[in-house]
């Protein structure tokens, strides 16, 4: 196994024990990028020279007794919505081609403080306004999309180009690529991780978080990222626990909700089978299962888009007038449509969102987490527009994928995707774990219980 195929936890153990050097690890990641980028195109820019210098600096610090912790010397990819000082933040768009930030986004600064090494910036669906990331390919099948909008980070982690990929999640953009690329993806509670220095899509739904190889890697990365930041108006003054303290406590004694509606209404049979088997694995370990009704299921997508579309158009209003022709067609149409949404419609969507949040709090009474599919169908082919579900029902790829992830954004609750199976075509399937507010530790604990009982996380794409 090449070093870049290791998870954060194992690589950190070897670095601390001096059996693996940060330079060796980062060089392995860069070699892998050279090997597969012509087929994946996960990165907007690769900063090889800077990364190797940072790795050498990490090696010197560790040799001098200055080991900073499990991210020291770990190669990370940064979604191209995050500002990285001295590198363009293009948001994978010609509109932002001239923007060069002078300081790091809060998350990037915290990763650097923890000793992480930035190897480059990863592609996003333009301005994060989509779930395909059409510039990038899926490492499990390069004729398919990697999901989005954090598709570059999902593909890069799955392919071994970096050990951590930073993503954002407004309608599923961490969890969708995690599910279809076979990685772990964590969307923390709204307010847990600062969004300062990240290009916004929809400020009241945007979340920042990591895509990693294992659940423990996600916990270790969140440990470095979490905490209040006055520069982010949505940042929460919540205590930051040790996210690994109870990671291996198992699920015995926990009560997990299994949705009776919505999440299993339109699902590919292979996905449903794998997810129900994964839920059975948790039950076999001692979890109690309880069937629950998802409240406001018929309003979920209306609320998601009723908030997202006008907020996105408000953010882009000036740029759309100055550089409208430089947007890609699909994003420009959405931004133009958002300008037709009435203020009264937006306010109504906000009011219903509050009702949804209150109803979910009631649903979680007596529950530790919800478990369900991350997405209802595996990776779509490039150019594919719809999925066909049992009964001949068709749904647009965008609607099908966002439909399963939107509840986590509308409510702001923490949500995790972990690999739990594969289709007959060998495509990854994800199990989603949704938790109570600021209980990322509980969500990670459930994900770890499943991961430790299966071998899905150890599988690698045939790229």
Q: Which residues are catalytic?
A: 79, 149, 173
Geometric angle at alpha carbon 72, from 69 and 76, rounded to 5°? 130
Exposure string (b/e) for 118-154, b if CB count within 10 Å is 16 or more?
bbbbbbbbbbbbbbbbbbbbbbbbbebbbbbbbbbbb
User: Which structure tokens are listed for 35?
Assistant: 């090997």
User: Which structure tokens are listed for 45?
Assistant: 């820019």
Q: Determine the Cα–Cα distance for residues 346 and 137; give it in Å rounded to an integer.
A: 35
Q: Determine the Cα–Cα distance for residues 225 and 111; give it in Å rounded to an integer.
A: 7
Q: DSSP secondary structure string, 194-212?
A: --TTB--S-TTT-EEEEEE
CB 61 within 8 A of CB 67: yes
Candidates 388, 436, 447; CA nearest to 179 is 447
Interstrand relation of 386-389 and 393-396 (parallel, antiparallel or unpaired): antiparallel
Q: Determine the Cα–Cα distance for residues 378 and 147; give it in Å rounded to an integer.
A: 9
List beta partners, residue 256. 289, 369
| Ranges of H-type helices in 7-114 | 8-16, 22-40, 48-63, 106-113
């Amino acid at each position: 196994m090449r070093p870049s195929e290791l998870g954060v936890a194992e690589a950190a153990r070897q670095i601390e024990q001096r059996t693996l050097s940060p330079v060796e690890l980062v060089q392995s990641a860069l070699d892998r990028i050279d090997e597969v980028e012509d087929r994946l195109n996960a990165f907007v820019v690769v900063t090889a020279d800077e990364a190797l210098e940072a790795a050498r600096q990490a090696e010197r610090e560790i040799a001098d007794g200055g080991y900073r912790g499990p991210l020291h010397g770990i190669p990370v990819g940064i979604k191209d919505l995050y500002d990285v000082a001295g590198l363009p933040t293009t948001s994978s768009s010609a509109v932002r081609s001239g923007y060069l930030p002078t300081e790091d986004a809060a998350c990037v600064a915290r990763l650097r403080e923890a000793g992480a090494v930035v190897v480059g910036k990863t592609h996003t669906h333009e301005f994060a306004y989509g779930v395909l990331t059409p510039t990038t390919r899926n490492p499990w099948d390069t004729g398919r999309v990697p999901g989005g909008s954090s598709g570059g980070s999902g593909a890069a982690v799955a392919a071994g180009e970096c050990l951590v990929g930073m993503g954002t999640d407004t309608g599923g953009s961490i969890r969708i690529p995690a599910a279809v690329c076979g990685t772990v993806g964590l969307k923390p509670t709204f307010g847990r991780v600062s969004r300062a220095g990240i290009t916004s899509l929809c400020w009241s739904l945007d979340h920042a978080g990591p895509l990693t190889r294992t659940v423990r890697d996600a916990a270790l990365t969140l440990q470095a990222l979490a905490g209040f930041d006055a520069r982010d108006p949505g940042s929460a003054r919540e205590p930051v626990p040790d996210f690994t303290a109870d990671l291996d406590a198992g699920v015995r004694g926990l009560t997990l909700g299994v949705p009776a509606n919505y999440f299993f209404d339109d699902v590919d049979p292979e996905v449903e089978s794998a997810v129900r088997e994964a839920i059975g694995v948790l039950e076999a370990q001692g979890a109690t299962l309880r069937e629950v009704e998802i409240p406001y299921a018929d309003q979920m997508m209306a609320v998601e888009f009723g908030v997202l579309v006008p907020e996105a158009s408000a953010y882009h209003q000036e740029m759309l007038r100055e550089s409208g022709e430089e947007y890609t067609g699909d994003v420009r149409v959405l931004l133009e449509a958002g300008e037709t949404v009435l203020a009264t419609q937006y306010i109504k969507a906000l009011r219903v969102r509050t009702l949804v949040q209150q109803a979910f709090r009631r649903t979680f009474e007596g529950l530790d987490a919800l478990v369900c599919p991350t997405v209802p169908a595996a990776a779509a082919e490039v150019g594919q527009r719809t999925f066909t579900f049992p009964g001949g029902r068709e749904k647009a790829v965008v609607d099908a994928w966002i439909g399963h992830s939107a509840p986590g954004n509308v409510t702001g609750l923490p949500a995790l995707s972990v690999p739990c199976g594969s289709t007959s075509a060998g495509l990854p399937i994800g199990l989603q774990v949704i938790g109570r507010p600021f209980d990322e530790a509980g969500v990670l604990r459930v994900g770890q219980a499943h991961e430790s009982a299966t071998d899905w996380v150890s599988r690698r794409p045939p790229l």
